[in-house]
Amino acid sequence: MAVLVPVALNTMVQHYYQEQQAGQWIPQACFQTSPQQVQHNEFQPQEQLQNTGQSAARRRRRQRAGERFDQLKLPAALTQEFHCPMVNSGWVKPLPAVAVAPLANGTSDQAVQIFDPQRSSELRAQLEAGGSDAALAVSALQANVWALARDSQGCRLVQLAIEKADIRVGKALALELLGHVREAATSPHANFVLQKVVAQLSPSTSSFISEELLGNGARFARHRFGCRIICRLLEFCSAEESTHLLVDEMLQVPTEALELCRHSLGHHVVQCILEHGRARHKEQIVEVLRQDLPGNANHRSASYVVKAALSHCSIEDQYSLLAPLVVPAVVAELAQSRYGCHVARTLLQRPEVDSEVLANAFPAVAALLASA
């Protein structure tokens, strides 16, 4: 059975491209025998180990090394050159797996070169220089955006390219993410590329992102990276119909909307809806908050949503929240609460609330005002 012998990615790529041209490339470090024996398949079996315990230990080590290496995903163009027959016979000694970032199947040779630190630095310098140099660098990234977006350094190159390229080229780079939005939204690196697309390009160009998130909006709103994408969409693409549909989906079920308000990450999305969303969406959020207004005002996450609603909703909706909250005893209770104090501070700034009278009546209110 053929297996792939693990080698360091950068060294492998350099040796492959340098020595393949001379027709003499052989992964010498992978074999116990000489390169000539490898080339002519003149292997000689090793002597059987007399000690059964040692033999079993060797088999276990080879098995563990093979399992570790199976986790590495290298491009097919490279793996074709590294197949060694009869590895289980003991004629081939695999090297230990090395820690390299896994690359997706189908990654082009050009993308593999870009992952080289030196080449990556050269491209960054070209992009920052602008002009014809930047155009050459952008052309090197084209057709490789999705592979690069998932890499810690590659994602920075793609973001810089989108920023420096003209509108037409930037759009072409962004559209290479079509069909990959859901995976990118949960990627620690690719999510930044999506955010750059939304912030840098036109709303009509970015609309494919919200379209691909439809059907799982609430799940992405609760994700540590996905919530950022939805917040950017609300900030820059709030007028797009696909963004409205995404918000409709998240607020459609009141219990799920309340869960979003109380979620440690989801509440950021709800705050963005209150700041940038449509009036009907704001009304839906207010209705959800009023189901348990005192509890939400004291909640570690929902309290920030209540505070945002008191600032960004219509006057009518603000008054519907104020009425049960401006009761002196309620304000005093909020002022003493670890999380409700955010809401209390907002209430004390309202013209409808006599903060001086409350401060004289409740020491907690006076202390809160003094800390402001």
Is the pLDDT reported for residue 42 higher than 50?
no
Residue 33's pLDDT band (cuts 50, 70, 90): very low
Taking CA atoms, 314 is separated from 12, 234, 323, in Å, by 63, 18, 14
Structure tokens at 284: 């839906």
Give a yes or no: residue 129 inside a domain: no
Q: Give the other-Cβ count within 10 Å of 305's Cβ.
A: 29
Q: Are 278 and 241 in contact (CB under 8 A)?
A: no
Closest to 341 (Cα-Cα) out of 304, 311, 292: 304
Is the pLDDT reported for residue 116 higher than 80?
yes
Is the pLDDT reported for residue 92 higher than 70?
no
Q: What is the pLDDT of residues 316-354, one digit of tens each?
A: 999 999 999 999 999 999 999 999 999 999 999 999 889
| pLDDT value for 111 | 64
Give a yes or no: residue 284 inside a domain: no
Question: 0.75 exceeded by the pTM?
Answer: no
Is the pLDDT reported for residue 9 higher than 90?
no
Taking CA atoms, 68 is separated from 1, 5, 94, 96, in Å, by 17, 11, 11, 8
| pLDDT value for 137 | 94
- Residue 139 CA to residue 133 CA, distance in Å, equals 10
Taking CA atoms, 121 is separated from 104, 114, 128, in Å, by 22, 9, 11
| pLDDT value for 158 | 98
Give a yes or no: residue 319 inside a domain: no
Give a yes or no: residue 277 inside a domain: no
Residue 68's pLDDT band (cuts 50, 70, 90): low
Q: What is the pLDDT of residues 256-296, one digit of tens each?
A: 999 999 999 999 999 999 999 999 999 999 999 999 999 99
**Mean pLDDT in the chain?**
81
| pLDDT value for 352 | 87
| pLDDT value for 97 | 36
Closest to 190 (Cα-Cα) out of 214, 156, 162: 156
- The beta-strand segments (E) located in 12-146 are 83-84
| pLDDT value for 258 | 98
Question: Residue holding tokens 């999380």?
Answer: 339
Give a yes or no: residue 90 inside a domain: yes
| pLDDT value for 65 | 62
Query: 199: exposed, middle or buried (C-beta count within 10 Å: 0-12, 13-18, 19+)?
Result: middle
Q: Are 210 and 198 in contact (CB under 8 A)?
A: no
Task: Select the more confidently predicted residue: 221 or 54.
Answer: 221
| pLDDT value for 159 | 98
Structure tokens at 80: 């074709």
Give a yes or no: residue 30 inside a domain: yes
Is the pLDDT reported for residue 32 higher than 70?
no
Residue 56's pLDDT band (cuts 50, 70, 90): confident
Task: Select the more confidently predicted residue: 252 or 17.
Answer: 252
Burial code (b: 16+ CB inside 10 Å, e: under 16) for 4-33 equals: bbbbebeebbebbeeeeeeeeeebeebbee
How many CA atoms within 13 Å lie on the side-chain side of 340? 18
Is the pLDDT reported for residue 230 higher than 60?
yes
Q: Give the other-Cβ count within 10 Å of 343's Cβ.
A: 30
Question: Residue holding tokens 């990556």?
Answer: 120
Is the pLDDT reported for residue 197 higher than 80?
yes
Give a yes or no: residue 117 inside a domain: no
Give a yes or no: residue 338 inside a domain: no
The kind and range of the H/E element at 3 are strand 3-4
| pLDDT value for 96 | 40
Range of the domain at 90: 1-34+61-100
The arithmetic mean of pLDDT across residues 14-26, rounded, is: 44
Q: What is the pLDDT of residues 147-192, one digit of tens each?
A: 999 999 999 999 999 999 999 999 999 999 999 999 999 999 999 9
- Count structural domains, the chain: 1
| pLDDT value for 70 | 52
